Structure 1
Amino acid sequence: MSDTGVPGPKSPETKAPDASRRSERSRRAICAAALALVSEHGYARTTVEGIAARAGVGKQTIYRWWPANSKAAVLLEAFLDLAERAADGAAGSEIPDTGDLAADLKPVLRATVDELNDPAFDRPTRALAAEGVVDPDLGAEFTARLLEPQLRLYARRIEAAQAAGQVDPGIDPRIALELLVGPLHHRWLHRTEPLTHAYADTLVDLALRGLLVRK
Structure 2
Amino acid sequence: MLTPPLFRDRRHAGRLLAQALQSYADRRDVLVLALPRGGVPVGFEVARALRAPLDVLVVRKLGVPGHAEYAMGAIASGGIRLLNDEVVQGMEVTKAQIDSTVSAESKELHRREQAYRGVRPPLAAAGRTVILVDDGMATGSTMLAAVRALRTLRPAHIAVAVPTAAADVCARLRAEADEVICTTTPEPFRAVGLWYADFSQTSDDEVRELLDEAQAGGGPDSY
TM (norm. structure 1) is 0.29
Q: Which has the higher contact order (CA 8 A, sep 6+)?
A: 2
When Rg is computed on C-alpha atoms for both structures, the one with the higher figure is 1
